[in-house]
Amino acid sequence: MVPEQFELPPSTFEYAVAAAASLCMFFLQRSRAVGLVAAGDTRVSVLPQRGDSQLYRLMETLAVLESDGELRFADVIRLETRGIPKGSTVVLISPSGEISLLDPLRLLHRSGLFPVLIHLARETFGGPASEWDLADAARRLGIPGYSLRCGDPIEKSLWERSPRPLWAA
């Protein structure tokens, strides 16, 4: 019997969680320290560590997240990235269509961090179309940007179809 392929629900939140989980697994399997900051109904922060116990902690945290946050994405970035050591990669996942999302990316870049944007193309999830291709706009600033569309397998969007594979970021 051939197992059925799992499909994510057409929700930007579910895709964001799945992308975060995939990235956590990818980098932890390569002995990188991985942390997590998320803002839904509550703000959550998991300090970066390596190993299987960290993978368990991160997956458990992602499993109970709720998407009902009141904080703006840019405010979360400003609040949560102050103590991150220079040279760290910061992966930001958002369906925001606001061009102002690029401002905190620039700030992170100027402060010695390496931001990476994974933009959830909300129009492919039934939401309003964005005026901007934020992944492309980020790339024009020299910041790796990736677009994740509803129905696209996460690994293809982040590793195969991108102008620069995420693992090379």
| In the chain, domain spans | 12-163
Residue 156 carries which DSSP code?
I
How many residues are there in the chain? 169
Specify whether the CB–CB gap between 97 and 131 falls below 8 A: yes
Cα-based torsion angle of the residue sequence 83, 88, 89, 90 in order, rounded to the nearest 10 degrees: 0
Domain covering 12-163: architecture: 3-Layer(aba) Sandwich (3.40)
Cα distances from 151 to residues 52, 53, 124, 156, in angstroms, run 30, 31, 8, 11
- pLDDT at residue 54, rounded to an integer: 94
- pLDDT at residue 120, rounded to an integer: 92
Written as tens digits, the pLDDT of the chain (169 aa) is: 555 667 788 899 999 999 999 999 989 999 999 999 988 778 888 999 999 999 999 999 999 988 877 888 778 888 888 888 899 999 999 988 888 889 989 999 999 999 999 999 999 999 998 888 899 999 999 999 999 999 988 887 776 555 555 555 4
Residue 118 carries which DSSP code?
E
Cα distances from 47 to residues 1, 11, 41, 127, in angstroms, run 42, 27, 19, 33
**120: CB partners within 8 A, 6+ apart:** 12, 15, 16, 93, 94, 95, 148
First to last CA, the chain: 39
